[in-house]
Amino acid sequence: MDDVYAVIMAGGSGTRFWPLSRASWPKQFLALAGNGRSLLQQTVHRLAGIVPSERVLVVTSEKHADATREQLPELPRENVLAEPEGRNTAPYVAWGAAHVSARNPRGVMAVLPADPFIADEGAYRKVIDRALAAARDGGLITIGVSPTRAETGYGYIETGVELSPGLNRVQRFVEKPDAERAEAFLAAGNFLWNSGMFFFRADAVLAEFERQLPLLHEFATTCRTQLANGQSDIEYARSRYGSLTSISIDHGVMENARDIRVVPGSFGWYDIGSWTTAYELATKDAQGNTLLTEAALIDSENCYVRGEAGKLVALIGARDLVVVDTPDALLIMPRERAQDVKRVVESLKQKHLAKYL
């Protein structure tokens, strides 16, 4: 339908995939799923036939705007919205809504994180279609993923009554639980993973901004007016962005909105949150090794090795090891320590080794 727009949230900082991700080259630019496309490219590509490129907007930081345009050359230049500084996700959505509204006040927005991995794209597209249809009716819609394990790394959505087939009222959003609660959620059967994907008409979400975050509503309205008059909003946005309310779209809008609905779905959704997930999603050989480089392994199992073209990585007696080699930095750790990559990044800041960040 020609009223559908995508707003891709691409503001990642890239700490968890160091040294492949860097301050200048965050996670969304990486081909972590092993299909040759970056996560950002894959997120846009996945919308083929649903949202044409001229209606795909990407919100990213100023320092990543050029790389974003290079990764998505099919997008009109003005569709990349460059934030002068990070203010969490609610300003992304307000700014995106201004741009959509200027083009079509009743335009339907799919607000999507840039970096999930989705295994079953056919199933995903059906869920998207359902969410867009529900949003077109004026509601605020989210997608909830049917949990397959008691995951403590994701937020949850408790579902309420079924309004129509494949569409439930949202009872409440729940923060990341501890292991015991995660088990209870899985057993209860009416909890879904919060995918962070949101769908609404521009006028519907702007009404919620007006009610809940009036400063952001004022910002969006001014941008929309300038755009509707054929002007650029970038100078105004630059001057105001630093004073915008810094809050997530989840906390700032969705959790206290009047009428939130959820489309449940199962489409092999993964938040690639660490090298551990990257290993889990990757193709492995008979010894459980993922070798994304030329390699020579002796007695080594369940290792994830990423290297450089034209360079050999040799492992002897390695178990469950993550090795990520780049031209100027090399990371080696047991897979279970993937959460500690941020400690390396911290230590580099403290040691004034920022050139490696």
CA neighbor of 81 nearest in space, from 213, 232, 199: 232
Residue pair 181/158 in contact (Cβ under 8 Å)? The answer is no
Closer by beta carbon to a copy of itself, 149 or else 352: 352
Contact between 187 and a copy of itself by CB under 8 A: the answer reads no
CB of 291 to a copy of itself, least distance (A): 13
Closer by beta carbon to a copy of itself, 133 or else 333: 333
- Interaction residues for a copy of itself, span 12-31 (CB under 8 A): 18-19
- Interaction residues for a copy of itself, span 300-339 (CB under 8 A): 307, 310-318, 321, 323, 325, 327-334, 337
Residues in CB range of 284: below 8 A, 6 or more apart: 290, 302
Q: What is the residue whose two structure tokens read 């997008």?
A: 75
CB of 169 to a copy of itself, least distance (A): 44
Candidate list 118, 157, 197, 344; residue touching a copy of itself; CB under 8 A? 344
Closer by beta carbon to a copy of itself, 157 or else 323: 323
Closer by beta carbon to a copy of itself, 139 or else 307: 307
Please give the biggest Cα pair distance in the chain.
67
Closer by beta carbon to a copy of itself, 203 or else 301: 301
CB of 315 to a copy of itself, least distance (A): 5
Q: Residue 163: how many CA atoms within 13 Å on its side-chain side?
A: 18
Q: Is the peptide bond before 177 cis (omega within 30 degrees of 0)?
A: no
Closer by beta carbon to a copy of itself, 48 or else 314: 314
CB of 154 to a copy of itself, least distance (A): 24
Residue pair 304/282 in contact (Cβ under 8 Å)? The answer is yes
Residue 313 in tokens: 């990585």
Altogether, the residues listed in the chain come to a count of 357
Choose one: 9-17, 63-71, 168-176, 346-354; the region binding a copy of itself (CB under 8 A).
346-354
Closer by beta carbon to a copy of itself, 1 or else 296: 296
Residue 250 in tokens: 């989840």
- Compute how many residues bind a copy of itself; rule: CB under 8 A: 37
What is the β-pairing status of strands 56-61 and 4-10? parallel
CB of 21 to a copy of itself, least distance (A): 13
Q: Which residues pair with 9 in a beta bridge?
A: 59, 113
Cα–Cα distance for residue pair 143/157, rounded to 1 Å? 9
CB of 309 to a copy of itself, least distance (A): 11
* Distance, first Cα to last Cα, the chain: 43
CB of 152 to a copy of itself, least distance (A): 21
Closer by beta carbon to a copy of itself, 248 or else 277: 277
Residues in CB range of 214: below 8 A, 6 or more apart: none
CA neighbor of 14 nearest in space, from 87, 91, 115: 115
CB of 168 to a copy of itself, least distance (A): 42
Chain residues binding a copy of itself by CB under 8 A are: 18-19, 294, 296, 298-299, 307, 310-318, 321, 323, 325, 327-334, 337, 340-341, 343-344, 347-348, 351, 353, 356
